[in-house]
Chains A and B, each alone.
Chain A
């Protein structure tokens, strides 16, 4: 069974940092691209970042570029999102999701809440 489990969320002050993790199981992690998507309270889905299966290419939304870093460890079946210089509008439920060539996100995690507030 495919499982994606996020962790590392919580309350952080503006300007602070947080590192999210996504533990993957039930599939060959290294064959899939991985992604972070967020949903702010009362808002829609927003793509945040993507990383290719081998980790060679990364992509970011303009709203997080230069502040967030996506990475992966295929040996540990793990995806990460390092979030620095956090702002109030980064407050959201962050979910990881997988994709493969020609396909969109077929499995998602349940998400982890990040709250940025003083």
Chain B
């Protein structure tokens, strides 16, 4: 199984900050990586697919990159609505696996 490891687990930041979350795969997944934003009481929302492609309706302050085993999600100029938990997920092979999540909280 492919293990997905996110860092950090928690990130404290202020509105306007730029933050970066890292996701590492235990083996190469090419670009078959997604990022989701999850807020309490709501369904997860797809942000990024194929490692760097922005999903429809996602603000351009979200960007992502990487391939193989190392991936990043960057949020430029954090907005109040961005505070949430973020998950990476590989969809290269089964079983599908998620990272453990990165909680972005207000400093």
In the assembled complex, A27 has its CB within 8 A of some CB on chain B: no
Whether B87 and A44, one on each chain, are in contact in the complex, defined by CB atoms closer than 8 angstroms, is: yes
Are A103 and B49 closer than 8 Å at their CB atoms? yes
Q: How large is the interface on B (under 10, 10 to 19, 20 to 34, 35 or more residues)?
A: 20 to 34
Interface of B is mostly: loop
Interface string of B81-94 (1 = CB under 8 A from A): 00001010101001
Query: B51 CB to closest chain A CB, in angstroms?
Result: 11
CB distance from A72 to the nearest CB of B (A): 17
B14 at the interface (CB under 8 A from A): no
As a 0/1 sequence over residues 62 to 80 of chain A, the CB contacts with chain B under 8 angstroms (1 = contact) are: 1000000000000000000
Interface hit among B63-71, B72-80, B97-105: B97-105
On B, residues with C-beta under 8 Å from A are 1, 34, 36, 38, 42-46, 49-50, 55, 85, 87, 89, 91, 94-101
Interface residues of A (CB under 8 A from B): 35, 37, 44-47, 50, 59-62, 95, 97, 99, 102-111
